[in-house]
Copies of this chain bind each other. A is one copy, B any other.
Amino acid sequence: MKIALATTGGDAPGMNAAIRSVVRLATEMGHQVYGIRRGYCGLIERDWWAMGPRDVSGIVNQGGTILRTLRCPYVETEEGLSKACEALSNFDALIVIGGDGSIRGGWALHERCGIKVVAVPASIDNDIAGTDTTIGFDTAVNTAVEAIDKIRDTATSHERVFVVEVMGRARGFLAVSVALAAGAEMVLIPEHPFTLSEIESSLDEGEKKGKSSSIIVMAEGAGYAPSLVERLARDRNYSVRLSVLGYMQRGGNPTATSRLLGALFGEEALRAAQDDREQAWLVASVDGKLVHRPLVDALKPKDGPDMRMFDLVSRLAV
Protein backbone atom coordinates (compact mmCIF):
# COMPACT_ATOMS: atom_id res chain seq x y z
CA MET A 1 0.00 0.00 0.00
CA LYS A 2 0.95 3.60 -0.54
CA ILE A 3 -0.10 5.37 2.66
CA ALA A 4 -0.41 9.12 3.06
CA LEU A 5 0.30 10.23 6.64
CA ALA A 6 -0.63 13.64 8.01
CA THR A 7 -1.00 15.48 11.29
CA THR A 8 -3.69 18.14 11.29
CA GLY A 9 -5.22 20.67 13.65
CA GLY A 10 -3.64 21.45 17.02
CA ASP A 11 -0.46 19.59 17.90
CA ALA A 12 -0.37 17.18 20.83
CA PRO A 13 2.62 15.56 22.57
CA GLY A 14 3.01 11.97 21.39
CA MET A 15 2.15 12.69 17.75
CA ASN A 16 5.79 12.05 16.88
CA ALA A 17 5.72 8.71 18.68
CA ALA A 18 2.70 7.78 16.54
CA ILE A 19 4.43 8.92 13.34
CA ARG A 20 7.46 6.81 14.25
CA SER A 21 5.25 3.81 14.90
CA VAL A 22 3.32 4.10 11.63
CA VAL A 23 6.43 4.63 9.49
CA ARG A 24 8.49 1.83 11.00
CA LEU A 25 5.73 -0.76 11.16
CA ALA A 26 4.47 0.07 7.67
CA THR A 27 7.99 -0.39 6.31
CA GLU A 28 8.24 -3.75 8.09
CA MET A 29 4.94 -4.82 6.48
CA GLY A 30 6.05 -3.76 3.02
CA HIS A 31 4.01 -0.57 2.71
CA GLN A 32 5.37 2.84 1.79
CA VAL A 33 4.46 5.85 3.90
CA TYR A 34 4.42 9.35 2.43
CA GLY A 35 4.64 12.16 4.96
CA ILE A 36 2.33 15.07 4.13
CA ARG A 37 3.62 18.41 5.36
CA ARG A 38 1.23 20.88 7.06
CA GLY A 39 -1.92 18.77 7.14
CA TYR A 40 -4.71 18.98 4.58
CA CYS A 41 -3.32 22.18 3.04
CA GLY A 42 -0.04 20.40 2.35
CA LEU A 43 -1.98 17.52 0.82
CA ILE A 44 -3.65 19.89 -1.61
CA GLU A 45 -0.27 21.44 -2.42
CA ARG A 46 1.16 17.93 -2.87
CA ASP A 47 3.88 18.66 -0.35
CA TRP A 48 4.98 15.13 0.63
CA TRP A 49 7.98 12.82 0.69
CA ALA A 50 8.59 9.08 0.97
CA MET A 51 9.52 8.29 4.57
CA GLY A 52 11.88 5.57 5.79
CA PRO A 53 12.73 4.26 9.26
CA ARG A 54 15.70 6.65 9.68
CA ASP A 55 13.45 9.69 9.08
CA VAL A 56 11.79 9.07 12.42
CA SER A 57 14.93 8.53 14.51
CA GLY A 58 15.26 10.44 17.75
CA ILE A 59 11.71 11.82 17.78
CA VAL A 60 9.95 9.49 20.23
CA ASN A 61 10.51 11.94 23.08
CA GLN A 62 9.85 15.16 21.17
CA GLY A 63 6.67 17.23 21.48
CA GLY A 64 5.02 18.80 18.46
CA THR A 65 5.00 17.07 15.07
CA ILE A 66 7.81 16.70 12.55
CA LEU A 67 5.15 16.75 9.80
CA ARG A 68 4.11 20.24 10.89
CA THR A 69 0.42 21.06 11.12
CA LEU A 70 -1.97 23.78 10.06
CA ARG A 71 -5.66 24.41 10.40
CA CYS A 72 -6.87 24.38 6.78
CA PRO A 73 -10.33 25.86 6.16
CA TYR A 74 -9.71 25.65 2.40
CA VAL A 75 -10.12 21.86 2.49
CA GLU A 76 -13.71 22.41 3.57
CA THR A 77 -14.56 24.29 0.37
CA GLU A 78 -15.82 22.57 -2.74
CA GLU A 79 -12.63 23.44 -4.59
CA GLY A 80 -10.38 22.37 -1.76
CA LEU A 81 -12.10 19.02 -1.38
CA SER A 82 -11.82 18.39 -5.06
CA LYS A 83 -8.12 19.15 -5.17
CA ALA A 84 -7.54 17.01 -2.08
CA CYS A 85 -9.23 14.08 -3.82
CA GLU A 86 -7.01 14.50 -6.85
CA ALA A 87 -3.97 14.45 -4.61
CA LEU A 88 -5.25 11.42 -2.72
CA SER A 89 -5.57 9.47 -5.98
CA ASN A 90 -1.83 8.86 -5.54
CA PHE A 91 -2.43 6.80 -2.39
CA ASP A 92 -4.25 3.69 -1.20
CA ALA A 93 -5.03 5.04 2.24
CA LEU A 94 -4.81 8.13 4.39
CA ILE A 95 -3.79 7.95 8.05
CA VAL A 96 -4.51 11.20 9.80
CA ILE A 97 -3.35 11.96 13.34
CA GLY A 98 -5.23 14.75 15.08
CA GLY A 99 -8.29 15.97 16.92
CA ASP A 100 -11.87 16.74 16.22
CA GLY A 101 -11.23 18.79 13.06
CA SER A 102 -8.90 16.14 11.63
CA ILE A 103 -11.55 13.52 12.05
CA ARG A 104 -14.29 15.60 10.41
CA GLY A 105 -11.87 16.41 7.59
CA GLY A 106 -10.95 12.75 7.23
CA TRP A 107 -14.58 11.75 7.12
CA ALA A 108 -15.33 14.38 4.46
CA LEU A 109 -12.45 13.10 2.34
CA HIS A 110 -13.58 9.53 2.74
CA GLU A 111 -17.13 10.45 1.70
CA ARG A 112 -16.07 12.60 -1.20
CA CYS A 113 -13.10 10.70 -2.61
CA GLY A 114 -13.92 7.20 -1.48
CA ILE A 115 -10.43 6.77 -0.08
CA LYS A 116 -9.74 4.57 2.90
CA VAL A 117 -9.21 6.77 5.95
CA VAL A 118 -7.83 5.85 9.38
CA ALA A 119 -8.04 8.50 12.08
CA VAL A 120 -5.69 8.36 15.07
CA PRO A 121 -7.10 10.50 17.90
CA ALA A 122 -4.54 12.99 19.22
CA SER A 123 -5.72 15.92 21.30
CA ILE A 124 -4.80 17.43 24.63
CA ASP A 125 -8.52 18.05 25.23
CA ASN A 126 -9.63 14.39 25.07
CA ASP A 127 -12.87 15.59 23.46
CA ILE A 128 -13.22 12.89 20.79
CA ALA A 129 -16.15 10.51 20.93
CA GLY A 130 -15.54 6.79 20.53
CA THR A 131 -12.30 6.60 22.47
CA ASP A 132 -11.66 6.85 26.19
CA THR A 133 -8.41 8.74 25.73
CA THR A 134 -6.29 10.52 23.15
CA ILE A 135 -2.61 10.97 22.43
CA GLY A 136 -1.35 14.00 24.34
CA PHE A 137 -4.05 14.16 27.01
CA ASP A 138 -1.93 12.61 29.76
CA THR A 139 0.94 14.98 28.98
CA ALA A 140 -1.29 18.05 29.15
CA VAL A 141 -2.80 16.89 32.44
CA ASN A 142 0.66 16.48 33.95
CA THR A 143 1.90 19.82 32.60
CA ALA A 144 -1.05 21.63 34.14
CA VAL A 145 -0.75 19.74 37.43
CA GLU A 146 2.95 20.58 37.72
CA ALA A 147 2.18 24.25 37.04
CA ILE A 148 -0.48 24.22 39.76
CA ASP A 149 1.97 22.57 42.18
CA LYS A 150 4.16 25.65 41.67
CA ILE A 151 1.27 28.09 41.98
CA ARG A 152 0.20 26.44 45.21
CA ASP A 153 3.52 27.39 46.79
CA THR A 154 2.61 31.03 46.33
CA ALA A 155 -1.06 30.49 47.17
CA THR A 156 -0.10 28.88 50.47
CA SER A 157 2.64 31.38 51.33
CA HIS A 158 0.38 34.34 50.61
CA GLU A 159 -2.91 32.75 51.72
CA ARG A 160 -4.67 33.63 48.52
CA VAL A 161 -7.30 32.29 46.15
CA PHE A 162 -6.05 31.40 42.67
CA VAL A 163 -8.21 30.82 39.61
CA VAL A 164 -6.25 28.71 37.14
CA GLU A 165 -7.61 28.50 33.61
CA VAL A 166 -6.77 25.31 31.74
CA MET A 167 -7.46 24.34 28.14
CA GLY A 168 -10.11 21.87 26.95
CA ARG A 169 -11.94 23.81 24.20
CA ALA A 170 -15.67 23.35 24.81
CA ARG A 171 -15.26 20.48 27.25
CA GLY A 172 -14.18 19.86 30.84
CA PHE A 173 -12.19 16.63 30.57
CA LEU A 174 -8.81 18.26 31.07
CA ALA A 175 -10.06 20.47 33.91
CA VAL A 176 -11.55 17.58 35.91
CA SER A 177 -8.43 15.41 35.74
CA VAL A 178 -6.18 18.36 36.50
CA ALA A 179 -8.25 19.54 39.45
CA LEU A 180 -8.49 16.11 41.06
CA ALA A 181 -4.79 15.33 40.58
CA ALA A 182 -3.69 18.77 41.76
CA GLY A 183 -5.89 18.61 44.85
CA ALA A 184 -7.71 21.77 43.79
CA GLU A 185 -10.57 23.02 45.94
CA MET A 186 -13.00 23.50 43.06
CA VAL A 187 -13.41 22.76 39.35
CA LEU A 188 -15.60 24.74 36.95
CA ILE A 189 -16.57 23.03 33.68
CA PRO A 190 -18.97 23.78 30.83
CA GLU A 191 -20.88 20.54 31.40
CA HIS A 192 -21.87 21.54 34.92
CA PRO A 193 -23.39 25.02 35.39
CA PHE A 194 -22.43 27.02 38.48
CA THR A 195 -23.25 30.37 40.00
CA LEU A 196 -21.03 32.97 41.58
CA SER A 197 -22.74 32.55 44.90
CA GLU A 198 -22.06 28.81 44.90
CA ILE A 199 -18.39 29.52 44.39
CA GLU A 200 -18.38 32.11 47.13
CA SER A 201 -20.17 29.98 49.67
CA SER A 202 -17.76 27.16 48.95
CA LEU A 203 -14.81 29.50 49.54
CA ASP A 204 -16.44 30.71 52.75
CA GLU A 205 -16.87 27.14 53.96
CA GLY A 206 -13.24 26.38 53.22
CA GLU A 207 -12.19 29.40 55.22
CA LYS A 208 -14.27 28.28 58.17
CA LYS A 209 -12.58 24.88 58.08
CA GLY A 210 -9.20 26.54 58.31
CA LYS A 211 -8.17 26.58 54.67
CA SER A 212 -5.98 29.61 54.16
CA SER A 213 -5.67 29.29 50.40
CA SER A 214 -7.68 27.82 47.54
CA ILE A 215 -7.14 26.78 43.95
CA ILE A 216 -10.08 26.94 41.54
CA VAL A 217 -9.46 25.13 38.24
CA MET A 218 -11.56 26.60 35.45
CA ALA A 219 -11.96 25.08 32.00
CA GLU A 220 -11.51 27.64 29.22
CA GLY A 221 -14.99 26.71 27.97
CA ALA A 222 -16.65 27.37 31.34
CA GLY A 223 -16.73 31.14 31.15
CA TYR A 224 -14.48 34.18 31.05
CA ALA A 225 -11.97 33.74 33.83
CA PRO A 226 -10.95 37.41 34.24
CA SER A 227 -14.59 38.33 34.95
CA LEU A 228 -14.87 35.66 37.60
CA VAL A 229 -11.69 36.88 39.28
CA GLU A 230 -12.90 40.46 39.19
CA ARG A 231 -16.25 39.62 40.72
CA LEU A 232 -14.78 37.42 43.44
CA ALA A 233 -12.34 40.19 44.35
CA ARG A 234 -15.13 42.78 44.41
CA ASP A 235 -17.72 40.81 46.39
CA ARG A 236 -15.41 39.80 49.15
CA ASN A 237 -12.09 41.00 50.43
CA TYR A 238 -10.57 37.85 48.93
CA SER A 239 -7.09 38.27 47.57
CA VAL A 240 -7.77 36.56 44.21
CA ARG A 241 -5.26 35.99 41.43
CA LEU A 242 -5.65 34.64 37.89
CA SER A 243 -3.29 32.34 36.05
CA VAL A 244 -4.00 31.32 32.46
CA LEU A 245 -1.78 28.33 31.76
CA GLY A 246 -2.10 28.73 28.00
CA TYR A 247 -0.08 27.18 25.20
CA MET A 248 2.53 25.42 27.29
CA GLN A 249 -0.16 22.77 27.88
CA ARG A 250 0.09 21.85 24.20
CA GLY A 251 3.80 21.14 24.03
CA GLY A 252 6.61 19.53 25.95
CA ASN A 253 8.16 16.09 25.95
CA PRO A 254 5.37 13.53 25.98
CA THR A 255 4.80 11.49 29.13
CA ALA A 256 5.30 7.73 29.01
CA THR A 257 1.55 7.23 28.59
CA SER A 258 1.36 9.59 25.60
CA ARG A 259 4.33 7.84 23.98
CA LEU A 260 2.92 4.37 24.61
CA LEU A 261 -0.39 5.45 23.16
CA GLY A 262 1.46 6.80 20.13
CA ALA A 263 3.24 3.48 19.61
CA LEU A 264 0.11 1.37 20.13
CA PHE A 265 -2.28 3.57 18.16
CA GLY A 266 0.23 3.56 15.31
CA GLU A 267 0.16 -0.22 15.19
CA GLU A 268 -3.62 -0.34 15.42
CA ALA A 269 -3.85 2.20 12.57
CA LEU A 270 -2.05 -0.21 10.27
CA ARG A 271 -4.36 -3.04 11.32
CA ALA A 272 -7.29 -0.78 10.44
CA ALA A 273 -5.72 0.16 7.11
CA GLN A 274 -5.66 -3.53 6.26
CA ASP A 275 -9.16 -4.21 7.49
CA ASP A 276 -11.54 -3.89 4.56
CA ARG A 277 -14.78 -4.33 6.46
CA GLU A 278 -14.99 -0.56 6.63
CA GLN A 279 -13.36 2.17 4.59
CA ALA A 280 -13.16 4.71 7.42
CA TRP A 281 -11.84 3.74 10.84
CA LEU A 282 -11.16 5.32 14.19
CA VAL A 283 -8.36 3.90 16.29
CA ALA A 284 -9.50 3.90 19.89
CA SER A 285 -8.86 2.84 23.45
CA VAL A 286 -12.07 1.45 24.91
CA ASP A 287 -12.24 0.00 28.42
CA GLY A 288 -8.49 -0.46 28.44
CA LYS A 289 -8.41 -2.33 25.11
CA LEU A 290 -7.02 -1.14 21.75
CA VAL A 291 -9.52 -1.38 18.93
CA HIS A 292 -10.43 0.15 15.62
CA ARG A 293 -14.07 1.02 15.11
CA PRO A 294 -16.10 2.72 12.38
CA LEU A 295 -15.05 6.35 12.07
CA VAL A 296 -18.67 7.41 12.12
CA ASP A 297 -18.63 6.66 15.86
CA ALA A 298 -16.31 9.61 16.34
CA LEU A 299 -18.75 12.07 14.80
CA LYS A 300 -21.21 11.84 17.67
CA PRO A 301 -21.03 14.20 20.63
CA LYS A 302 -18.94 12.77 23.44
CA ASP A 303 -20.42 12.00 26.84
CA GLY A 304 -19.40 14.31 29.68
CA PRO A 305 -16.50 13.89 32.09
CA ASP A 306 -16.61 11.18 34.73
CA MET A 307 -18.99 12.50 37.38
CA ARG A 308 -17.34 10.35 40.03
CA MET A 309 -14.10 12.23 39.45
CA PHE A 310 -15.89 15.57 39.23
CA ASP A 311 -17.59 15.01 42.57
CA LEU A 312 -14.40 13.80 44.21
CA VAL A 313 -12.74 17.18 43.67
CA SER A 314 -15.02 18.95 46.13
CA ARG A 315 -15.45 15.94 48.41
CA LEU A 316 -11.67 15.75 48.87
CA ALA A 317 -11.27 19.49 49.35
CA VAL A 318 -12.46 19.49 52.91
Which B-chain residue is minimally distant from A141 (CB atoms)?
B256
**B241 lies within 8 A of A244 (CB):** no
Does A147 touch B at the CB level, under 8 Å? yes
Interface size on A, residues (CB 8 A): 82
Chain copies in the assembly? 4
Q: How far is the CA of A179 from the CA of B250 in the complex (A)?
A: 20
CB contacts (< 8 Å) of A256 on chain B: these are 138, 141-142, 145, 177-178, 181
The answer to whether A70 and B159 touch (CB under 8 A), given A315-B28, A318-B27, is yes
> 16 A-B Cβ contacts within 8 A?
A7-B157, A17-B183, A64-B156, A70-B158, A70-B159, A145-B256, A150-B248, A150-B249, A150-B252, A151-B247, A180-B259, A181-B260, A242-B246, A243-B247, A287-B287, A290-B308
Interface residues of A (CB under 8 A from B): 7, 10-11, 13, 17, 20-21, 24-25, 27-28, 38, 53-54, 58, 60-65, 68-70, 132, 138, 141-143, 145, 147, 149-154, 156-159, 162, 177-178, 180-183, 209-210, 241-253, 255-257, 259-260, 263-264, 267, 286-290, 308-309, 312, 315-316, 318
